Amino acid sequence: MTANQRLTTPFTARTTAAEILDGVDLTGRRMIVTGGASGIGVETVRALAGAGAEVTIATRDPRRANALVEEFAGRGAVRSAALDLSDLESVDAFVEGFPGPLDALVANAAIMAIPTRQVTAQGWELQLATNYLGHFALTRGLHASLRAAQAARVVLVSSGAHLAAPFDFDDPQFERRAYDPWLAYGQSKTAEILLAVSITRRWAQDGITANALNPGYVFTNLQRYVDDDTMRALGAVDEAGNLVETDHYKTPAQGASTTVLLAGSPLLDGVSGRYFDDNQEAEVVPGGPDATAGVAAHALDPAAADRLWAYTEKAVVTR
């Protein structure tokens, strides 16, 4: 495969996470999955731990992971630890409590479309803070642990929502422009893809690779802030508000497959700085409000990645 060739795999949109790892032994690999106690994260943990990996579920309330920890009691190791990505003190405490090395960090946690602008203790808009800035601080804090694993992977669970929202360097926190819940979400998801590009540019000599992905549409807690009209417009519920079975919605186990491909499959050995959808590398497209598939050029732009890294380092250090 040349650098410009798109990576393809034998898997499809309907492949489950467990099927991706059929025949793959992850025994001895240590992994962290943020938001691993609900939705797509649960199936991500289940597949990785099922293949033998030692998985730490990072969640705001570790008790929420009890059932999953129990499920693996006596076969493999799943544990949980407290992490609130919107609170940098919590991120620091998590990093301090994690003994390296770390083979894979899966940045899966997120919130979506918070209806009104909310800010963290640092004054950061909540979606950018949770989905991106917290994951940046976590990844940076775990750099030595990732380096120690020698061929570590960072997996950024992004979204097709990035297509409509380039990172706005003039006003990333929506201090001057009108707050838009979907633009804020989309921007945070663009930032996660740019982080994969930056890690590739900065940490390749440490053997660390980083890739991003869109899991596809899955009914989870993520939609809790989305109003009924929007759910209807998305074709997710009928007029009466009942969930509709549609072809483009995946089960959580199918939604977790691309994450698991990037975190654990040997097909991804040495691959970095790319974006995947339905278990294939996505086509680069111009992006914009009408774009529905692929990865936007604005999310893979190395200059934007460098600029974002500088902005974020400053924000996190001078918090």
Ligand X SMILES: NC(=O)c1ccc[n+]([C@@H]2O[C@H](COP(=O)([O-])OP(=O)(O)OC[C@H]3O[C@@H](n4cnc5c(N)ncnc54)[C@H](OP(=O)(O)O)[C@@H]3O)[C@@H](O)[C@H]2O)c1
The phi, psi pair for 15, rounded to 5°, reads -65, 140
**Least distance from C-beta 25 to ligand X, angstroms?**
26
Residue 148 or 285 having the CB closest to ligand X: 285
Active site residue 217: no
- Distance, in Å, from the CA atom of 218 to the CA atom of 42, rounded to the nearest integer, reads 13
Catalytic residue among 185, 217, 275, 311: 185
- Distance, in Å, from the CA atom of 176 to the CA atom of 184, rounded to the nearest integer, reads 13
- Distance, in Å, from the CA atom of 193 to the CA atom of 44, rounded to the nearest integer, reads 19
**Least distance from C-beta 156 to ligand X, angstroms?**
9
Tokens of 113: 């479309």
Phi-psi sector, 53: left (phi>0), alpha (psi -120 to 50), beta: beta
CA 15, 16, 22, 24 torsion: positive or negative? positive
Q: For binding to ligand X (CB under 6 A), which residues are involved?
A: 34-35, 37-41, 59-61, 64, 83-86, 108-112, 130, 157, 159, 214-215, 217-218, 220-222
**Least distance from C-beta 45 to ligand X, angstroms?**
11
**Least distance from C-beta 65 to ligand X, angstroms?**
8
Residue 110 or 149 having the CB closest to ligand X: 110
Rg, the chain, Cα only: 18
**Least distance from C-beta 255 to ligand X, angstroms?**
6
**Least distance from C-beta 187 to ligand X, angstroms?**
12
Q: Which residue is nearest to ligand X (CB)?
A: 39
Annotated active-site positions, please? 185
